[in-house]
Amino acid sequence: MYAAAIAALSVTAAQPAAAQSNYDARFVAYPSYNGTDLELLVDGSGTHFKLWSPTAEAARVNLYDNGRTGAPYKTLEMTINPSNGVWSASLPERLYGKFYTFQIQNNGKWLDETPGVWAKAVGVNGKRAAIIDFASTNPEGWNSDKGPAVKNFSDVILYEMHHRDMSLHPSSGIANKGKFLALTERGTVSPQGLATGIDHLKELGVTHVHILPSYDYNSVDEANLPANQYNWGYDPQNYNAPEGSYSTNPSDPATRVREMKQMIKALHDAGIGVVMDVVYNHTAENDGSNFSLTAPGYYYRHREDGSWSDASGCGNETASDREQMANFIVNSVKYWADEYHVDGFRFDLMAIHDTETMNRVARELKQIRPDIFVYGEGWTAGDSPLAVERRALKENVSKMKDIAVFSDDIRDAVKGHYSNAEDRGFASGKPGNEETVKIGIVAATAHPQVDYKKGNNSKFPYAGSPEMIVNYVSCHDDLTLTDKLRKSMPDATDAERLAVAKLAQTIVFTSQGTPFMFAGEEVFRDKKGVHNSYKSPDSINAIDWNQKATYKDQFDYYKNLIALRKAHPAFRMTSAADIAKNLKFDKIDSRKQPNLISYSLLNNANGDQWAEIKVIFNGAPAAQTVSVKGGNWIVVARDGKIDPAGLGSSQGGKIEVAPYSALILARE
């Protein structure tokens, strides 16, 4: 069970803050070290090893010719600087091409070898760190490479994908299937001649890809490729090196680095930003993790009895509230932003981290590039010794600057409960979700017409700004939207489900905040009903690009929906005050007209060319009639069609809204 698989658990009741246990208290006295030269530095004077391990009794470096096999050709004894807990050893030559591990002595015993916590390049399966010349890994033009400039985070459109899902199916037409290089190939097409890969992303119009874990993770045997092994990658091993199975040669440490950079550069050249999914909240192993083998106990939280605390649901949880763990997280994301030009970070189970550390993450990233986007899951998967008020929870997002959280409010209200497959939501005909959808529409900000007491999940306006909210109806976790609609609408036709899917995404993409979609939903992707596909085979996970032709109408709708959002800043307001002033809900009695929401974006909101945009959602299985004031309206969306340039005109008055559909009107 991996974090993301159960990550949709919200913390609802506040627990009392657990007392700091005696077991943990001893770690507070550890000295910390915030230098970026930890573990390995190669410079003009040679190769320098530095290991942070304040309580080790001895430490050494083992040097190897090979990334996997053979005995060390040399072992270096290290010496400690007690003021910062850092052990050092140096050699006068530059050891490019060699590999190393650390070992510490703890309680009289030498622990297992570890590549350390700061390995930036590794041998196959990440057991030994590699010494490579990073300058040699830069693709042509790398020095001038940069992602798209982001003015406001509400301008971002996120597309969540997994490397294998995007390219593995034969219909992708992509040569480097399941690899970083898949997203460097241009001109790839489906059997029907429709764009796939990077060209597909450009055609769809998303601004950023959010890629499932791409750091080195534990579960896939890199030495045994190309077996049909699949994992989402929420089982971190080496946080600062790319995953080997996504490279064309996992045995060559430089290849994975170079190919990941090539991917990022190709996306940047296409005007698309790259967000990394980062999972600092837990590690795949407990006693065998690189954290445990370098500083036993320190990096994790424990219960009063000394056992592993487990807010991740994966067997352990890290301790961002300790100085050196905070240093690690901050320096790790800064490293990816610097060395790989990564444009954003999605924090898995972010509420396991403390708000102070998350604020430091955003603040220090901003010094590298002010438009790096940081967001995360504002919940945990279990209880934690970290006090509730310190957790980077959704409910605490207003304590964090320049950080956004996922809105489970809009997610569950629109499509139905995430884990109860049969449950329906606003868009699929279940009454009673209207107020929670409104919470989503205003991005969980305070609004005079939204009654948070009626909210299903959140009971107060937790977001101080729409830039603190990421809206979505589905992601890699739980059922795809297609599967959810098949399970919750068993008697419906696919035509009805396609209509519901359009409506659901129309709600997400017209709401305030940042919209997020799961890869392939624009082609009605399913996962054959599998709820948790974290290690399901490609036959479940891979996107079948033949469906782009089958569901061409769906794809076109998504494309136009994105174009509408991009063309109209009224959907992308940047302050709660603007939303309260410019977004007005029409009075609808939901007892008489359930599953109906109507609102206006007024006053040329946020500099929009349109004076007013009328947005109406009918999530009922029957048509409903609304009254729109008279005027010269452009019809932007109606009856499952959408076109930012207009589908026709309307004079207002009584208008029928088709079942499971959105009606969007605008006037100059």
| Selected catalytic residue, list 348, 467, 478, 544 | 348
Secondary structure (3-state) at 625: strand
C-alpha–C-alpha distance, residues 329 and 122, integer Å: 19
| Selected catalytic residue, list 377, 402, 434, 612 | 377
Pick between residue 244 and residue 644 the one whose CB is nearest to Ca ion. 244
Pick between residue 162 and residue 417 the one whose CB is nearest to Ca ion. 162
Cα-based distances in Å from 606 to 77, 175, 564, 570: 63, 44, 15, 5
Q: How far is the CB of 155 from Ca ion (least distance, A)?
A: 34
Q: How far is the CB of 219 from Ca ion (least distance, A)?
A: 8
The alpha carbon of residue 160 and the mean position of all alpha carbons in its chain are separated, in whole angstroms, by: 7
Q: How far is the CB of 283 from Ca ion (least distance, A)?
A: 13
Site string for Ca ion, 220-259 (x = CB under 5 A): -----------------------xx---------------
Q: How far is the CB of 526 from Ca ion (least distance, A)?
A: 28
Stretch that binds Ca ion, among 192-200, 209-217, 373-381, 482-490 (CB under 5 A): 209-217
Pick between residue 244 and residue 416 the one whose CB is nearest to Ca ion. 244
Instruction: Collect all residues with Cβ–Cβ distance below 8 Å to 273 and sequence separation of at least 6.
Output: 147, 148, 150, 156, 207, 208, 209, 267, 343, 344, 373
Quick check: 402 binds Ca ion (CB under 5 A)?
A: no
Stretch that binds Ca ion, among 210-218, 227-235, 381-389, 395-403 (CB under 5 A): 210-218
Q: Is 377 a catalytic residue?
A: yes
Spatial contact of 643 and 561, defined as CB atoms under 8 Å apart? no
Pick between residue 243 and residue 252 the one whose CB is nearest to Ca ion. 243
- Which among 251, 256, 273, 254 is positioned nearest to 264, based on CA atoms? 273
Quick check: 317 binds Ca ion (CB under 5 A)?
A: no
Secondary structure (3-state) at 79: strand
Spatial contact of 190 and 545, defined as CB atoms under 8 Å apart? yes
Task: Restricting to residues 594-653, name those near Ca ion by CB under 5 A.
Answer: none
Instruction: Collect all residues with Cβ–Cβ distance below 8 Å to 529 and sequence separation of at least 6.
Output: 479, 483, 486, 487
Q: How far is the CB of 265 from Ca ion (least distance, A)?
A: 23
Q: Which residue is nearest to Ca ion (CB)?
A: 216
Q: How far is the CB of 649 from Ca ion (least distance, A)?
A: 57
Q: How far is the CB of 234 from Ca ion (least distance, A)?
A: 13
Q: Where in 530-579 does DSSP place strands (E)?
A: none
Q: Is 389 a catalytic residue?
A: no
Instruction: Give the CA radius of gyration of the chain.
Output: 26
With CB under 5 A as the contact rule, the residue among 39, 216, 310, 354 that binds Ca ion is 216
Pick between residue 183 and residue 225 the one whose CB is nearest to Ca ion. 225
Instruction: Collect all residues with Cβ–Cβ distance below 8 Å to 305 and sequence separation of at least 6.
Output: none
Quick check: 467 binds Ca ion (CB under 5 A)?
A: no
Pick between residue 155 and residue 222 the one whose CB is nearest to Ca ion. 222
C-alpha–C-alpha distance, residues 461 and 442, integer Å: 9
Q: Under rule CB under 5 A, how many of the chain's residues touch Ca ion?
A: 3
Spatial contact of 404 and 564, defined as CB atoms under 8 Å apart? no
The alpha carbon of residue 123 and the mean position of all alpha carbons in its chain are separated, in whole angstroms, by: 27
Pick between residue 216 and residue 354 the one whose CB is nearest to Ca ion. 216
Catalytic residues: 348, 377
In the complex, which residues of this chain contact Ca ion (CB under 5 A)?
216, 243-244
